[in-house]
Structure 1
């Protein structure tokens, strides 16, 4: 059986290390490369607390892509790094699984157009936890029957962007199902206390130690409320979704935004 050749960019980060531990346990995958600007020269296995696997952390992304020729590259870096990495992925015609958030709608559309033009498979997802994907689906369904919704998202302090990509995609789904004008009647004594606004949906971002990734979608209706919540208690919660994406991208030339697009929900 031909194994899927996997490369991880941002391999020294917490998500990258969790993915190393996961990919190396898969019978149909082979980790061929890991890139980062830290931990350079170290064995990726030893860096993650497992046995050495003979794959060292590389710094030169361009050379690594050209020489090791992965089937799928998984990018878990940060917005600015991803913007620098994308031209190299496209130039080397490598299929992509992108978990890095922070791209604007215009940047996503440009990426989609370039992938289609070059026939490169790409899946961009704000959240790879299957439970989080289901939460977004349930929220979109509930929005058809409830008056309004607000979103509270909770992440660790190291997360650079706010609101999260998951919160934005959730709000987009709610608006798509039922968008209506809403007049804000409360007066902010502290600017920003009512959160950010995406259409009729208010989004509130919390950044505190102790959280990995959590989100509440709160619906209000006549005499009732409905709360849909998902909690990722550890980064292992993202691994089944990432593996699903890698396997799909290994044989696809399509562009997908959101894990739900390959879950057939």
Structure 2
């Protein structure tokens, strides 16, 4: 059994991870961490029987005393780096779905994971369909270099654009090299109307509204035609097979792997 600690257990994604860890035959919940509901049994979050694991806000203590092998983190951009550093220092392997980590923080975590010789998986998206969307978009960019991305998420998501959109853009930019799209000088009558600008003029547009979960369109424009590659996560269960894959895989890794696709497709 893989002993799993869940950081951000009371959040929307944390609850799905909790259900998944409890249902899987090879994972065992050993710690539940959140700044809310401290002292309650984690089972109360699901309205079920007590699990014998109480929610705590003290991550370091939970990792030190629970025997955790893997920490799954779905918290927020302001706390994720400190959580990952705490896990690595405790000898626990992080699986991170929280987005918004800065390049400096990512570098810090990468160096620490390498030093500790521990695996760490940081994934902007755990949905297999979303990973295929990124893969297909990178292939399409060889033939349709003019592209914009529209990503839509629920209105409680703090960071914009999404980690998935940034990852998609990075993969497209790898394929199209120094290509420059769009007008050299554009006039925005309202600042930000054209979205966020990536190198080469690639634009990312972020929508935040209640009712959405996680959705993205990658729109390519060519002479007399357009091509759209789209993915929709209509429920958070869509991420859970990928989370389980990461929990199992991180035990055999050393260093940081950025993107679950590196385990699935390569």
Task: Please classify the TM superposition score into its range, dividing by the shorter chain length.
Answer: over 0.9
User: Which residue matches 2:63?
Assistant: 65
| Number of corresponding residues | 263
- How far, CA to CA, are the matches of 1:110 and 1:254 in structure 2? 12
- Structure 1 segments of 4+ aligned residues over 4 angstroms from their partners: none
Output the CA distance in 2 between the equivalents of 1:43 and 1:214: 33
Question: Of the candidates 131, 136, 139, which is equivalent to residue 137 of structure 2?
Answer: 139
Partner of 1:76: 74
Question: CA offset at residue 45 of structure 1?
Answer: 1.8
Q: CA RMSD for the aligned pairs?
A: 1.2
Structure-1 residue corresponding to 2:206: 205
Q: Where do 1:28-43 residues align within 5 Å?
A: 28-43=26-41
1:89-122 CA distances to partner (integer Å, 9 max, x unpaired)? Answer: 1211211101111112232122112111110110
CA distance in 2, matches of 1:233, 1:50: 25
Using the TM superposition, give the Cα deviation of residue 252 of structure 1 relative to its aligned residue in structure 2, in angstroms. 2.2
| Paired position in structure 2 for 1:160 | 158
Task: Output one character per residue of 1:167-206: Cα deviation in whole Å (capped at 9) or x when no partner.
Answer: 0000000000103123425421111110001113100000
Does 2:214 correspond to 1:216? no
TM-score by length of 2: 0.96
- Correspondence for 2:242: 241
Write the distance in 1 (CA, Å) between the matches of 2:255 and 2:48.
34
Q: In the TM superposition, what is the alpha-carbon distance from 1:88 to its structure 2 partner?
A: 1.3
Which residue in the other structure is 2:265 paired with? Answer: 264
Q: Distance in 2 between matches of 1:135 and 1:147?
A: 16
Alignment partners' CA distance in 1, 2:28 and 2:182: 54
How far off its partner does 1:256 sit? 0.3
Pair 1:110-2:111 in alignment: no
Q: Is the 8 A contact 2:5 2:68 kept in 1?
A: yes
CA contact (8 A) 2:153 2:215 kept: yes
Q: How far is the alpha carbon of 1:140 from its aligned partner?
A: 0.3
Does residue 1:196 correspond to 2:196, yes or no?
yes
Q: Aligned equivalents of 2:197 and 2:109: distance in 1? A: 26
Q: 5+ unaligned residues in a row in structure 2: which ranges? A: none
Please report the TM-score for the alignment, with normalisation by the length of structure 1: 0.96
C-alpha separation in 1, matches of 2:160 and 2:226: 25
**How many Å separate the matches in 2 of 1:111 and 1:48?**
32
Bigger shift: residues 211-220 or 177-186 = 177-186
Gaps of 5+ in 1: none
Counterpart CA distance in 2 for 1:108 and 1:62 is: 20
Is residue 181 of structure 1 aligned with residue 180 of structure 2? Answer: yes
- How far does residue 53 in structure 1 lie from its aligned partner after superposition? 1.5
